[in-house]
């Protein structure tokens, strides 16, 4: 089923990536193509594999220490 709609996933990923890149401050020599492609691959992977696959591919490779935020408004 994935292969049947893979063109649709790529199309949607490109649309989302273009929205993200539109907000970046890109000068003429910023090398936008590799960054645009990276964002496109990220969105496509997220849509096809879900959050777990995205985290495995794009998440941190080293463990992250999670801390809580202290609420001082008590």
26, pLDDT greater than 80: no
The phi, psi pair for 32, rounded to 5°, reads: -70, -30
State the pLDDT at residue 12: 86
The residue with greater pLDDT, 71 or 63, is 63
39-67 pLDDT, tens digit per residue, is 888 888 888 877 776 777 777 778 778 77
The better pLDDT of the pair 69, 13 is held by: 13
pTM to 2 decimal places: 0.56
Q: Which of 8, 15, 17, 5 is nearest to 42 (CA)?
A: 17
Q: Tell me how far apart the alpha carbons of residues 19 and 23 are, in angstroms, rounded to a whole number.
A: 7
């Amino acid at each position: 089923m994935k292969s049947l709609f893979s063109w649709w996933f790529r199309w949607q990923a490109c649309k989302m990536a273009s929205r993200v890149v539109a907000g970046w401050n890109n000068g003429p020599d910023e090398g936008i193509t590799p960054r645009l492609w990276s964002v496109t691959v990220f969105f496509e992977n997220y849509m096809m594999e879900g959050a777990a696959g995205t985290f495995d591919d794009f998440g941190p490779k080293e463990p992250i220490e999670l801390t809580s935020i202290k609420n001082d408004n008590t």
